[in-house]
């Protein structure tokens, strides 16, 4: 029960990493306020309740300030405060090329992927500061934000911004006890990446998914949720302003077409 007595907010909880985190956080004792633009957030809430957890679900847009402020206010009015905020909602933006990207497209990706986390830091962070008992804010970035090769320009730029936002926010919240960290998933089977996985299965090449990383596979949402749980809990009490890559080792190197082990090419 690593989150016993804690109150957690999770956006993007309708599927994937957000749903897995909601179920895991609740099983560890947290009371939840979960949000998603999709109505599947209510299905997540049902799963949490059936497992014995306490949850309030909201349909909301993570890039709209009023919606984020309402989530924080709901946590306070329903459960008396907020200890954990997981800004997980995001959009892929597609594999747009730089010459095809429009300002309007990039603005929308940034609105959800970067402004959304900023709003969570602003509102949840302020509440945590006022409470005076610290807290943990987790922002979902991506390995695409670490270096090129894992997404289009809009998505990658937005996630690089999230990493810097975590670092800057950790400094801005100095002496408050509020920690801010970024979670950087590699290829993970979620609602956002579903088209990639469906395409591979249709073509009979599912085994090729994730082959660029040393573990030679994609991640499952629970593997990211486990790291989010660590960042949310007191076990990570001295981890702050960090970007944690959970990518099977992909970002440990620049991908190449062959690798050498001793004198043997593999």
Taking only the tens place, the pLDDT of each residue in 187-206 is: 887 666 666 665 556 666 66
Supply 59's token pair: 């349909």
- The per-residue pLDDT for 266 is 47
Does the pLDDT at position 211 exceed 90? no
What percent of the chain has pLDDT above 90? 75
Q: Which DSSP state fits 115?
A: I
C-alpha 146/C-alpha 157 separation (Å) is 10
Q: What is the mean pLDDT of the chain?
A: 90
Residue of 79, 155, 199, 238 marked catalytic: 155
Considering the entire predicted model, what is its pTM?
Answer: 0.90
- The per-residue pLDDT for 218 is 83
Does the pLDDT at position 39 exceed 80? yes
C-alpha 177/C-alpha 130 separation (Å) is 11
C-alpha 182/C-alpha 190 separation (Å) is 18
Compare 24 and 192 and report the one with higher pLDDT: 24
Tell me the per-residue pLDDT of 71-127, one tens digit each, with 9 for 90 and over: 999 999 999 999 999 999 999 887 778 898 999 999 999 999 999 999 999 999 999
- The per-residue pLDDT for 209 is 67
pLDDT grade for 244, boundaries at 50, 70 and 90 = very high
Compare 163 and 201 and report the one with higher pLDDT: 163
Tell me the per-residue pLDDT of 138-160, one tens digit each, with 9 for 90 and over: 999 999 999 887 788 999 999 99
pLDDT grade for 18, boundaries at 50, 70 and 90 = very high
C-alpha 86/C-alpha 136 separation (Å) is 8
Supply angle C-alpha 124, 1, 186, rounded to 5.
60
Note whether 58 and 89 are within 8 A (CB).
no
Indicate the helix (H) or strand (E) that contains 50.
helix 40-50
- The per-residue pLDDT for 197 is 61
- The per-residue pLDDT for 175 is 96
- The per-residue pLDDT for 191 is 63
Does 238 participate in catalysis according to the annotation? Answer: no
Instruction: Give strand pairing partners of 157.
Output: none
SS3 246: strand
- The per-residue pLDDT for 19 is 97
Instruction: Provide the CB-side half-sphere exposure for 170 (13 A, CA).
Output: 18
Does the pLDDT at position 26 exceed 80? yes
**Helix and strand element counts for the chain (H, E):** 8, 9
Q: Which DSSP state fits 193?
A: T
Domains and CATH numbers, the chain: 7-188+221-240 (3.40.50.720)
Note whether 177 and 135 are within 8 A (CB).
yes
C-alpha 166/C-alpha 174 separation (Å) is 12
Place of tokens 């610290």: 134
Mean pLDDT of all residues in 66-75: 98
Phi, psi of 244 (to 5 degrees): -100, 110
Q: Which residues of 23-49 are buried (b: 16+ CB within 10 A; e: fewer)?
A: bbbbbbebbbbbbbbeebbebbbeebe
What percent of the chain has pLDDT above 70? 87
């Amino acid at each position: 029960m690593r989150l016993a007595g804690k109150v957690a907010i999770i956006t993007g909880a309708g599927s994937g990493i957000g749903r897995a985190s909601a179920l895991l956080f609740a099983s560890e004792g947290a009371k939840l306020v979960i949000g998603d633009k999709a109505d599947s957030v209510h299905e997540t809430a049902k799963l949490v309740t059936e497992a014995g957890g306490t949850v309030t679900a909201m349909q909301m847009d993570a890039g709209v300030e009023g919606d984020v402020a309402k989530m924080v206010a709901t946590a306070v009015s329903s459960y008396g405060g907020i200890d954990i905020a997981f800004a997980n909602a995001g959009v892929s933006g597609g594999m747009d090329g730089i010459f095809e990207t429009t300002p309007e497209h990039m603005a929308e990706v940034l609105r959800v992927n970067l402004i959304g986390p900023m709003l969570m830091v602003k509102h949840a962070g302020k509440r945590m500061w006022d409470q005076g008992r610290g807290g943990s804010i987790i922002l979902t970035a991506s390995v695409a934000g670490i270096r090129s090769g894992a997404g289009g320009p809009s998505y990658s730029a937005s996630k690089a911004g999230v990493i810097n936002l975590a670092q800057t926010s950790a400094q801005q919240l100095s002496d408050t006890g509020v920690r801010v960290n970024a979670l950087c998933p590699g290829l993970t089977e979620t609602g956002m990446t579903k088209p990639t996985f469906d395409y591979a299965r249709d073509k009979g090449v599912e085994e090729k998914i994730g082959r660029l990383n040393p573990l030679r596979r994609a991640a499952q949402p629970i593997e990211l949720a486990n790291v989010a749980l660590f960042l949310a809990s007191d076990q990570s009490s001295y981890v702050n302003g960090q970007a944690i890559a959970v990518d099977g080792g992909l970002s440990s190197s620049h991908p190449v077409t062959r690798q050498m082990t001793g004198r043997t090419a593999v």
